[in-house]
A and B are shown apart, each in its own frame.
Chain A
Amino acid sequence: MLFRAMFSGFIGISILAIYSLFPMAIEQVDAAAEVRASSVALSENYFSDIVVNQEGNKYYTTAQKIFSSSIFNEYDLVSSTGDFITITYEVIVNSDDKSMTLNIYIEATEENIIENFKGYYMTNYNDEMDVIFNFDGIYMFLSELEDLTAIEQCSIWGNLLHFAINADLFALSVIEPAITIMSIIYNPFSTAISQTTYGINYAYNILNTQPTSYVTKQSDFTNWKFGMSTLAYAGCEVISGYNLSTALGKNYSLAYVTYLYEALGIEIGAAQGYFGSNPYQISYFLIAAGIEYEKVISYSDFYSKMTSTKDYYVILSRWNGEETDDMIHTFMLNKTHYYTYSYPYYVLKIRYRTYNMIYGSSYYDKYTIDDLFTNTTNNSNTFIVAYFIEK
């Protein structure tokens, strides 16, 4: 029920955005107001000043905090000669690449403490919109940074500091406000980011000639935007959802299905969307489309269903092979069973009609489960997830 309620909300947002494709102006004003309102909730002297500005699709928030210069003394900084030092925190949210960039510098001298540290909006493992940062190979969400202890903050931020120092007290003092201001900013702008990027993509994609039947050749869709990538490059999960909706007789355009995947957060927002979709979250689309399904993550369960006499539409995600550089491919198939008479018995046969499994102008029929996997010695090694929709 929780999910249904949540996705009803998503659908509401989706419909709203489709009918008003460019809600940016309204969002910008609201986001700025919300940042200011959030900052008021902090103790009165936490930040001495917060300013929100916008240039095009970039939202600049600068916050200033005054520190006692004593915490800088041991670092021999010119700017630490007075009693107080003002540190400026600048957070830039860019709706073009869905990024959040942090700069921290000393106001008086403009000496950088942290420069152009960039994170990307994406869904976290709790299915919430979040921002992910890369700390020299250690990936952490903003929501996780908020939960770290001071010692853990020191450890993870230390290497990013512009000064050649160990973090200790300095980082403890300076970083905590950075996380505070990013946390204030993240929420108001996340909606604006989703709706501007996705709305623009929808407006672009709907101008393309919409397919009228199944999509069987993904590489035809180089001119279709998906996140910051294209359907040709990273859209097989979207295409599987579109083909399923086509099989079920739903009158969804490919542009609309693409939009739903984006708006529901199934698209992976990191690295400008180039990572494609999260196959485990295709269920979001199915719920939004009102399609009842059974999600299977065990290969033995998958095998059992695929060899039964029950007929299904299936969305299957699996690795293309067992090598480390192999990619994921997701496609829809139509499973049907029939019998052929071979004296003296009727023999059960099962046909898997695949769409966009092999790139081509047509669909392809397969008759064994092995034929649905490639370059694999054991299908269970490459199986990821499948969704079964009863006919």
Chain B
Amino acid sequence: MKKACIFLSMFTVLFLSGCTNAKYQTMDNMTWESDRFNIEATSEQLLKQYETPSDEMFNLDTKYYSSIEINNNTYFCIIELVNGYFTLYLVQPELLVNYYEYSDPNIPFFIGEFSDEKIDNEDYQYKLIIELDGSSTSVGTSDGGESHSIYYEYCVDNGIDFDNSLVLYGYESN
């Protein structure tokens, strides 16, 4: 019985020792680039964005924003890679004229789940395979309405095929 108790206590601690709740993608000194939309982000930017409270998020020094290219224009964005979820918010969604009616600071431009792979490749060290969320996730807006991601809504309303694949490649910074 005593041995059982000792084992149980060891098991309990070992089990709980993995119990911190948030898994933020912390690969340091990395630069991230995407296969579509020319998303560019650095580890430093992602960490700063993650640590900044929501109400200060849109007042950061611009060097802390990542970037995304849509219709040949580049926009600032905020990216979160937490607990297997990828979200991307536009810093100034009102600048995207075509997407204007879908804009809301609380609505992400992209939502998706990702799995990460460490790659033995001379060009890049990490590959995040992101599956962008289409119809399955609705996002609650600040005024009580519901939406999907801005990009998904835009595709549906304009008869554009929704391509849910996105890959982020991680390169070690020099």
Contacts and interface: CB of A to CB of B under 8 A. Distances in A.
A325 interface: yes
B83 A268 contact: no
A376 B5 CA distance: 31
Nearest to A240: B21
Contacts, number: 148
Contacts of A271: 17
Nearest to B23: A327
B9 A364 contact: no
B21 A327 contact: yes
The dominant DSSP class at the B interface is: mixed
A343 interface: no
Interface in B46-67: 50-51, 53-55
B158 interface: no
6 contacts: A277-B21, A327-B83, A328-B19, A362-B140, A362-B142, A371-B137
B156 interface: no
Most chain A CB within a 10 A radius of its CB, from B5, B20, B82, B146: B20
A222 B53 contact: yes
Contacts of B140: 353, 362-365
Contacts of B13: 132, 139, 270
A362 B107 CA distance: 7
A360 to B, nearest CB: 6
Interface in B107-144: 107-108, 111, 113, 115, 136-142
A232 B53 CA distance: 10
B50 A219 contact: yes
B25 to A, nearest CB: 11
Interface string A357-371: 011111111111001
Contacts of A362: 106-107, 139-142
Nearest to B141: A362
Contacts of B108: 360
Contact of A275 (B6, B10, B17): B17
Interface of A: 124-125, 132, 138-141, 144, 147-148, 217-220, 222, 232-237, 268, 270-271, 274-279, 320-321, 324-330, 353, 358-368, 371, 374-375
B149 to A, nearest CB: 10
B51 A222 contact: yes
B21 A236 contact: yes
Interface string B6-37: 10111011101111111110000000000000
Given A144-B9, A234-B21, A358 B85 contact: yes
B85 A359 contact: yes
Contacts of A236: 21-22
Contacts of B141: 362
A276 B21 contact: yes
A337 B147 CA distance: 19
A16 B118 CA distance: 52
A268 B113 CA distance: 29
A327 B139 contact: no
Given A140-B6, A375-B115, A275 B106 contact: no
B101 to A, nearest CB: 18
Given A275-B16, A329-B83, A361 B21 contact: no
B118 to A, nearest CB: 11
